[in-house]
Structures are given as C-alpha cells and as structure tokens.
Chain A
C-alpha cells in the first residue's frame, strides 16, 4: 500500500478536515507539523502554487486544498465513503461544502475585526448559521445523514473553533436556544471517536488565537 503523508498545522480547521477523514476511513498516515512562518522545502515543493496546508501526499503525489483532498479520498479508499452514492445527494453535499468554504470566512472576519466591521460580520455570521441550521442540517443527526460525511467535516470549524473565537471576542453566536439543531450537531460531531480523539487542546487554542488576534489588530 502506498504511503500517505499529511502536512498540516495543529490549529487549522482545514488541516483537521483531512485528518478526521483519514481517521474515519482508518487510513494509516504519517503526519508532519508545518511551521507556517518557516515553511519546509517539502511543503513548498508539494504546493508551489499556494504554499499552504493541508497537503496530502499519496505515493509521492501531492494533493492540495482540503475539499479537493476529501473528494480524492473516496477514490482509492471507497469504504466509509465521505460522499453519498446518489448523484443528486452528491450534488447537495458539494453545494454545502462549497458554502462552508465561501461563507465560512465571515466568522474569521468577526474574529479579527472590531467596531463596525465586526458588527457586520456578526450579522453575516448569524445569517449563515440560520441558513445552515434550517436548510443544510434540518432534522438530520449529521449533515451526511446517519453518518458523518464530507459536509460535516467541512463545517467542523463550527464545532470547535467557533467556541474559541466566541470566548476570545466575547460574542456568543451559536446559542442553543437560537440554533438547537446545530448546537446538538456540535455535540454529536465531537462525540464521534475519530473526532473526539483528534481535537486541538482548547486552552492551547485560546492562548494561540488570543495572541493572533492581538497581532492582527495591531498590524496596519
């Protein structure tokens, strides 16, 4: 079996999307922690276009972009599929995965801003959560149905990173009264062993992101 390597960072939800997928599928892999302030020659060689993580290297061949990697994994490892088999259901999953990537940045904006910009981002984030709760999740246990799928992994940041950001900026977005189904999903998601055993330490995250926010607000 060809070797699988994952280049990632401990605090990145994009990195974790791939790590969770590998764990869910029981794919053995070698993990390398990258220092993004001092990128390794191997990372730059594997991802010359973006020089970003995560990168999956399978049998020496690199694949970049977390959602491209997730789509890839069902090919060589079809068991515990991340996508449903029905073409329409697959289209729905891809639509929401794209939504997670395109719209999810509003939460980052809320985190790294203040004042009017932050107010707008909070509004945008709440609208996004409303759409996700009502239209993407509905009454399902997971976005993937009975099992965790690609869309759950795409929205994974909501289950763990959002709480950290909320605590740091002092703004609560994902309140159980406002978003009962999404709130329950965060609990179900993090109870899954492959996820539960692979989450970055919360205190370490608080310290790391607090520092990062200060840096971002201080820079011009």
Chain B
C-alpha cells in the first residue's frame, strides 16, 4: 500500500468516539495505522489536521483529514463502498439511523456525562433524566425496528451498533467507576441488544479493557474509588 493511500487514525484508547472509527475500519477490513494521542499534550499533527476542534478522532486518508466520528463513519462507508455496508441503502432507512445517532449523541451521551459531576439530590435527578431519555430511546428504536435489534444488520454490527455500542457496551465500567446503578429491568430490550453486541467477536476485540477503563474514568473525573454515600 503506497504512502498516499494510507489510512491513519488519531485517537485515544478510552474514547468511544474513537472506537467508532476503528470498529468501522475493522468491520470493513480496511488496514490502518493508529496514533494514540495524549490530550494533555496534543501533537502538532493533530492540531494541524483538526484546527477547528483540536479533538480526536481524526481520520487521515490520502493525506486528507476528516474530523467528527459520525462524519468519518459516513466517509468510510462511501469511499469503501464494499460490504458490509455501514448505513442502509434506502434513503428513508438512512434518515432513521441518522436521527437516532443524533439523539444518542445530543441527548443520551451528554446526560450520562452530566450525571458524573452530580452529587446527592442533583444526582438523583440526573439519574432520573437519564432513565427518561433511555425510555424514549428504547421505545423509539423498538417502534422503528419492530422489536428487532437495531444494532445488527444480519450477522454484522450495524451503523447504530457502532455508534451506540462504542459507548454503551462499556456500561459496566461506567457504572462501577461512577458508582451508579441503573434499573436494567426498566430497559430490558436495550440491555439485551447491548449484551448481544458485547458478545460479538469484533466488539470484544475493540472495546477497552474493563479495569483499565474504570481507572481511566475515575482519574479523568477525579472520582474516588470508594462507593458514593
């Protein structure tokens, strides 16, 4: 493979947004070079490739950089339009997956993040907000996918599986690090979809290791290892 057609991913091992990209490349069988970034000491290259946000992930292909995980996923699917396809062919089905990917990124992910910083009564409210959003998410997906898992397309992980799974499959590490318990019975369908995803060999290969991730989350948000009162 010549230099220009090389694929390089700039990322951090604990970031679900970066996992999305490497998952997609693996799924499609695209070889790539991975560069682990230290976000406390960003490389010149990262800043050059993503001057607007200076964030990971960045995909560089044929020397040209692309930032924003969902934008990268669509690029991967369009440039390497071999099977398996990440997004559905039908425009209406594509609109559906984009809608839910946006919902996850704009509603679920931020609510989960804000939960980390809360204590006491505020935390209870934050948990309730997360559960309410999860309810809307799960019911909406059940409606749109007639009860089937939205995270698989046949035997392959689907676009939504990549987008949601990259974060949600780490739920046990998150719960342990943040000392929170969500009522799994309230979201039985969602939990079963996530468990199926976790069991997929590709997910198993690409997800960060549990203990390492727990330690990382605790460190990043200055959380004590003792359980919350």
Closest chain-B Cβ to A2's Cβ sits at a distance in Å of 11
Which has the most chain A C-beta neighbours within 10 Å: B51, B61, B94, B99? B99
Contact B75 A88 (CB under 8 A): yes
What band does the interface of chain B fall in when counting residues whose beta carbon is under 8 Å from A?
20 to 34
Contacts of B70 in A (CB 8 A): 94, 98
What band does the interface of chain A fall in when counting residues whose beta carbon is under 8 Å from B?
20 to 34
Contact A91 B75 (CB under 8 A): yes
Among the listed A48, A49, A95, A131, which residue makes an inter-chain contact with B67, where contact means beta carbons less than 8 Å apart?
A95
Is A115's beta carbon under 8 Å from chain B?
no
Contact B102 A65 (CB under 8 A): yes
The B contact surface, by secondary structure, is helix
A75 CA to B92 CA in the complex, in Å? Answer: 9
Which has the most chain B C-beta neighbours within 10 Å: A87, A98, A131? A87
Contacts of B200 in A (CB 8 A): none
Q: Which of B67-84 contact A (CB under 8 A)?
A: 67-68, 70-72, 74-75, 78-79
Q: Which of A4-47 contact B (CB under 8 A)?
A: none
Q: Which of B50-77 contact A (CB under 8 A)?
A: 51-52, 61, 64, 66-68, 70-72, 74-75
Interface flags, A56-89, vs B, CB<8A=1, else 0: 0010010111001101100110000000000110
**A68-B99, A95-B66, A98-B68 known; A76+B91 contact, CB < 8 A:** yes
Is B140's beta carbon under 8 Å from chain A?
yes
Among the listed B51, B52, B95, which residue makes an inter-chain contact with A71, where contact means beta carbons less than 8 Å apart?
B95
Residue of B nearest to A92 (CB): B66
Among the listed B71, B95, B102, B136, which residue makes an inter-chain contact with A91, where contact means beta carbons less than 8 Å apart?
B71
Is A202's beta carbon under 8 Å from chain B?
no
**A49-B136, A65-B102 known; A94+B71 contact, CB < 8 A:** yes
Which has the most chain B C-beta neighbours within 10 Å: A68, A90, A91, A131? A91
Is A209's beta carbon under 8 Å from chain B?
no
**A72-B94, A76-B91, A99-B52 known; A87+B78 contact, CB < 8 A:** yes
Q: Which 9 A-B pairs have the closest CB atoms?
A: A75-B91, A87-B78, A91-B75, A87-B79, A94-B71, A72-B95, A91-B66, A63-B95, A68-B98
List residues of B whose CB falls within 8 A of some A CB: 51-52, 61, 64, 66-68, 70-72, 74-75, 78-79, 91-92, 94-95, 98-99, 102-103, 136, 140
